[in-house]
Structure 1
Amino acid sequence: MHSELQLQLEHLKAYRKDRLDLAQNILENKEYFDELVQICFTPADKNNNKACWILEFIAYEELIWLQPYINFFCKNIKHLKDESALRPIAKIIQLLLASHYKRKENSILLSEENLQDIIETSFDWLINDTKVATKAYSIRTLYILGKYYNWIHPELQIIVSKDYPNHSAAYQAVAREVLKKIK
């Protein structure tokens, strides 16, 4: 028997309006949030990528809802393989880092272990065969983290410089932007 959320995800089309509508439904009915997070990190679930799309929209509105799930989130990002799930999760990671490092009220708190999981996964996405959007978010994520971990910028610089000629204009634009900031 499928839950109400599973049924909504099954019938969800990729149209932005449809994704926003389902995200709004969850924002108005927080009891679905736990299940949504679980589906996001269950790669065997056929709706896992759709759940990630919705989680991204929710993160823009209520990022703080992720705080109780942050250890689970960070431990499980490395298990995601579907390109359609990776891009929204990579974007959520940037939102989490921005919140963590702003240190304001209602900021997301990330442990050292959470940060290490994010670093490891971001480098994996950068060096493996993932799509350009995920790589671009990973480059930016690692740039941010390199401000706090002095070994990251030199590694990032080597990887991005080496891969630069073999990638699309979009990758090259992000690479140029970040390499300029690193130097």
Structure 2
Amino acid sequence: MNKQFLIEQLNNIENAKRVNRLRVSNLVLKNPEIFPFLLDIVFDISDKTSIKAAWVLEFVCKEKLEWLTPYLDYFTENIGSIKQDSAVRPISKICEFIAKAYTSKNNSIVKDMLTKEHLDSIIETGFDWLISQHKVAVKAYTMTTLFLLGKNYDWVHQELKLIIQQNITKETAAYKARGKLTLALINKK
């Protein structure tokens, strides 16, 4: 299997229905040698297939987050280049997976391989997503990511709290709910 085969499979995804995303993510999970191609396609933002690749990457990382570790430099250097909301949402979810693995009590290769530069990039991009015009799912995942990473970076909670407080009155009900939860967790700490 090669990159062109994967592109063809991604192009056969008609819509964002779970069954369509699962079909291609299962293909990647059964053929790990095509994982690097998937990453390349995600960050080729000039091609509309990158959005579908981001959907699939989320599903693959949910199952095999450790596959991302050899590519953490590439991933964190490029996450800020993703602009389409349909692609930012799964990338923000992957950042949440990373934050959960990093702050987990369990040992993992993800925790071992993450550097300060990787974390700084995720935090910086997260704040960009939080203050930009993105849908609530991106902001909700980002609040969780920043809250978790803020356990190790004191200034992150202060900034996160400020942004949520500034925006909570003008955002959606879902944002308000996640914002209140996040503020309560920050205040509890």
TM-score bin, normalised by smaller chain: over 0.9
Pairs within 5 Å for 1:137-156: 137-156=141-160
One-letter code aligned to 2:27? N
In the superposition, the TM-score normalised over structure 1's length comes to 0.95
Cα distance in 1, alignment partners of residues 84 and 179 from structure 2: 24
Aligned with 1:9: secondary structure? Answer: helix
Runs of 4+ in 1 over 6 A off after TM superposition: none
Cα distance in 1, alignment partners of residues 62 and 91 from structure 2: 12
Cα distance in 1, alignment partners of residues 103 and 144 from structure 2: 14
Further displaced range: 104-113 or 138-147 = 104-113
Give, in angstroms, the shift of residue 107 of structure 1: 3.5
Cα distance in 1, alignment partners of residues 118 and 81 from structure 2: 15
Cα distance in 2, alignment partners of residues 155 and 96 from structure 1: 20
The percentage of counterpart residues that share the same residue type is 41
Cα distance in 1, alignment partners of residues 39 and 165 from structure 2: 35
One-letter code aligned to 2:20? D
Give, in angstroms, the shift of residue 60 of structure 1: 1.2
1:5 aligns with 2:6: yes
Aligned with 1:3: secondary structure? Answer: helix
Give, in angstroms, the shift of residue 101 of structure 1: 2.6
One-letter code aligned to 1:29? N
Aligned equivalent of 1:56, options 32, 55, 58? 58
Give, in angstroms, the shift of residue 105 of structure 1: 4.0
Q: Which residue of 1 aligns with 2:181?
A: 177
Cα distance in 2, alignment partners of residues 7 and 110 from structure 1: 32
Q: Which residue of 1 aligns with 2:33?
A: 31
In the superposition, the TM-score normalised over structure 2's length comes to 0.92
Aligned with 2:154: secondary structure? Answer: coil
Aligned with 2:107: secondary structure? Answer: coil
Aligned partners of 2:102 and 2:110 also within 8 Å: yes
Q: Which runs of 5+ in 2 are unaligned?
A: none
Q: Which residue of 2 aligns with 1:106?
A: 109
One-letter code aligned to 2:7? Q
Aligned partners of 2:103 and 2:148 also within 8 Å: no
Cα distance in 2, alignment partners of residues 148 and 140 from structure 1: 14
RMSD (Å), alpha carbons: 1.2
Q: Which residue of 2 aligns with 1:163?
A: 167
Aligned partners of 2:41 and 2:53 also within 8 Å: yes
One-letter code aligned to 1:3? Q
Q: Number of aligned residue pairs: give it.
A: 182
Q: Which runs of 5+ in 1 are unaligned?
A: none
Aligned partners of 2:88 and 2:138 also within 8 Å: yes
Q: Which residue of 2 aligns with 1:128?
A: 132
Q: Which residue of 1 aligns with 2:123?
A: 119
One-letter code aligned to 2:9? Q
